[in-house]
Structure 1
Amino acid sequence: MVIVLSLVSALSYGISDFLGGIFAKRASAWPVAVVGQSTSAVCALTALALFPGSPATPDLVWGLLAGSGGGVGVGFLYRGLSTARMGVVAPISAIGAALLPVAAGLISGERPSLLAFIGIVAAFPAIVLISRVPASEESGTTTASGIGDGALAGLGFGVLFVCLDRVSDGGALTGLAASQVTSVVTVIAVATAMGAPWLPRDRFAARAVVMGPLGFTAQGAFLFATQQGLLSVVSVISSLYPASTVLLAALLLREKILAWQAVGLALAATAVTLVALA
């Protein structure tokens, strides 16, 4: 079940990023992030109202911290994708999203089996290969800017994953709702600090409402997976989300899967198989 939930998280994140990249190219990244995160928050608050659980104060605190990281991650990821820097932003953000939780898990005493550890190691080059695009498809913006967006996005997602892992079983939906609401506030705060417009004013930003249930599903599946399995394993599988983004682009936008991306997809499948067999 841990592997299934982790894959659901990766798939949901991948679809959400695919849509976010499309919307953010036609509207500013920040309004897209605000709309997407707001609808995710509505989903989380609705679930909390239906199933309140038995939360403790730390669950709320960890949820607030998770949301701060998630807001930073989403905002800078969409900003990077909106300027077509996927080949720089996507692998850095995904590796950052996996590396920090893996380090936190190992430091806290997690010891994956040998097979699982090999799968974890194989996942990192898989992420890079899957996310890589030809230089001719990159925009004219500087590589340094792409690296900065990717690093900030990866750091934000890494914090999100680590903090969600700290939420208790009884306070899962409380932590999730706190995370989603805080992420909206964080996106607005960061956009305001950067002098970027964040109010949704056109139909492309408004269409980001479809991303809400995806974001809620992605985070919820990740949270419940970490309650049953190791953070170091779950975070790596969830961070393979660029695979679903690439596959969707191939199926819906008729984008060609390049040779190195095919190798990356094969490595990703190997990584998941090894972890599942562990």
Structure 2
Amino acid sequence: MMDILGGAGAPTPAGDLIKDVTEATFMQDVVEASMQAPVIVDFWAPWCGPCKTLGPALEAAVTRANGAVTMAKIDVDQNQRLAQALAQQGLPLQSIPTVVAFVQGRPIDMFQGALPPSEIDAFLKKVIEAAGGEAGGGLGEALEAAEEMLAEGAAADAAQTFAAVLGEDDKNAAAYGGLARAHIAMEDLDQAEAILNGAPAEISDAAEIEAARAQIELARQAQNAGPVADLRAKVEADPADHAARFDLAQALHAAGDAEAAVSELLELFRRDREWNDGAAKAQLFTIFEALPANDPVVLNGRRKLSSMIFA
């Protein structure tokens, strides 16, 4: 075994661990790379004094981790459109240095300003552990079994297993998210929401919990979704009817066609990104959150949305 920040075996070349990233390489070097290992993104600028201290300390910590985490350096002055687009998507980049940890394509944690090396190591350790899951061997196997039950339609059995995991580890985000999803499958949305609201504050923004929250929102929308055929006819009769197109996207998702729903929302965003206070982009993010980060619908949808934002 090895210390989580100590590394083992031959060291990983620094060039593979630390990269200068631009708008053109962000999807590959951050979003897609974070499917394999956490990516720490350092937003900096040449004129930023604290950045000159933090950057080398981050690089040293990432190098010590020896492949458990990688680092992307983004000069915000040279990549202003990328920084603006990420800020529009909710990342607080008003001040630098800002460091954001990406896991499975999503930002899961961050800090701003320079930190001492001990706190940087603690931040990386937390991120690495989150990427590997909080559960140990036995609990990990129980979680896998519960997921299989849920996939096979045995939602009640899955709920019991997720609850048993929480009995052993009351801060297990995967178990909280799984238990909520089991209740969604049983069409008990109020109980699913109550479960997530009861999660400890320190894991309330974990990816598994955010995904379950998004699924609850989509399930509530599905309860009021209109007929797909009628809504499609309205859109075909008047392609500029943005409300009808948005309703069509909701109906398509309720019918189980997430790819078609994303396509309609992207078309709505292309036509009028500010319609209804940016409702198309918000709905896209809800769908992306609800699906696994490596789902082709998510990867393709995020790429197309990013290309529209940067255009």
TM bin (shorter chain):
under 0.3
TM-score by length of 2: 0.21
Q: Rg bigger for which structure?
A: 2
Query: Per residue, is there more helix in 1 or in 2?
Result: 1
Question: Which TM-score applies when normalising by structure 1?
Answer: 0.23
Point out which structure has higher relative CO (alpha carbons under 8 A, 6+ apart).
1
Q: Which has the higher strand share?
A: 2
